[in-house]
Amino acid sequence: MKILIATEKPFAKTAVNGIRKIIESLGYELCLLEKYTEESQFLSAVADVDAFIVRSDKVTRKVIDAAKNLKIVVRAGAGFDNLDLDACTEKNIVAMNTPGQNSNAVAELVLGLMVFMNRNKFTAGTGRELKGKKLGIHAYGNVGRLVARIAKGFDMEIWAFDPFVKKETMQADGITVVDNVEDLYANCDYISLHIPANDKTKKSINYKLLNLMPENGCLINTARKEIIDEDELLKILEERADMKYATDVAPSNISELQEKFGLRVFATPKKIGAETAEANINAGLAAANQIVNFFKSGDTTFQLNK
């Protein structure tokens, strides 16, 4: 059995070592394609493998077609908008993610970004505190839940909107739950985005929604670039000198935004939310174990294309 790790943005060494241990202990072979720059490298690397692990790497129909022996692909992480699930299903290939494994890293980054923006990107000048402010969590999944938990330590008031999570579950965590998304934006000083990128959510964070935010509103996006309407983000930042935007998934117009809005906008140079040794180990090892369990006993927990 041949298993490939294909990561344009590689895992930490410790994570790769851990994955190797799991794979090789069963007599399987592990191969690595790291920091590749061309799709052609990915296409030739998958040609003879039985399984592969990716991060945000784009697993297109072309990749699936090139992987003639493929039985299972695992996205080591939560968001699976990089996987062509239809292409996998058509070829009877199991596609999985590893939900929850890198959530803490992303959640810690959210609070870090909030403090950073509140303190003028760690430059001189009068900042603001998080204490007593309202934080709106847009989607209460694995990351959103952890953001809420950490933010409570800052003495923030936590609000959330998530039509897919039971109201009682959120309320049991001491959260103010709203039934429509507008109420979240209209009431919260900070909004942290945790929605996936799909046909329904793309460009859904728009002018109308953002303009509901109270004075000094700050939007934090550690989710996906595609969920923001970038033209409308520019418009709101132009019209409202009080608003701030910090993101781990830079918009296409980031240079323009940074030039125009200085301390009010920040984007990490490359997505770093899940970029911790711990998150790499958790997600990488989970992916390896899911592959091994699939081959050993047909375990399809976390299959996305059921």
Task: Catalog residues that contact ligand 3PG under the rule CB under 6 A.
Answer: 9, 55-56, 77-79, 102, 271, 273-274
Rounded to whole angstroms, the Cα distance separating 249 from 236 reads 18
Q: Least distance (Å) from ligand 3PG to the CB of residue 58?
A: 11
Contact 66, 46 (CB under 8 A): yes
Q: How far is the CB of 183 from ligand 3PG (least distance, A)?
A: 27
CB of 9 to ligand 3PG, least distance (A): 6
Nearest approach, Cβ of residue 101 and ligand 3PG (Å): 8
Residue closer to ligand 3PG (CB basis): 81 or 173? 81
CB of 197 to ligand 3PG, least distance (A): 10
Least distance in angstroms from the C-beta of 49 to ligand 3PG: 19
Long-range contacts of the stretch 289-294 (C-beta < 8 A, 24+): 289/22, 290/74, 290/96, 290/98, 291/3, 291/23, 291/51, 291/53, 291/72, 291/74, 292/22, 292/23, 292/26, 292/28, 294/51, 294/71, 294/72, 294/94, 294/96
Report the residue number, 139 or 178, with the smaller CB distance to ligand 3PG.
139
Structure tokens at 61: 């129909």
The Cα 279–Cα 11 span in angstroms is: 9
Host H or E run for residue 212: none
Rounded to whole angstroms, how far apart are CA atoms 42 and 33? 7
Element (H, E) at 267: strand 265-267
Decide if 153 contacts 135 (C-beta within 8 A).
Answer: no
Closer to ligand 3PG by Cβ: residue 96 or 234? 96
Minimum separation from the CB atom of position 228 to ligand 3PG (A) = 15
Closest to 244 (Cα-Cα) out of 154, 158, 115, 139: 115
Strands (E), 111-179: 134-138, 157-161, 176-177
What's the CA gap between 86 and 291, in Å, rounded?
20
Question: Which backbone phi and psi does 51 adopt, to 5 degrees?
Answer: -155, 155
Shortest distance, CB of residue 274 to ligand 3PG, whole angstroms? 4
CB-nearest residue to ligand 3PG: 77
- Ramachandran region of residue 77, left (φ > 0), alpha (ψ -120 to 50) or beta? left
* CB of 39 or CB of 65, closer to ligand 3PG: 39
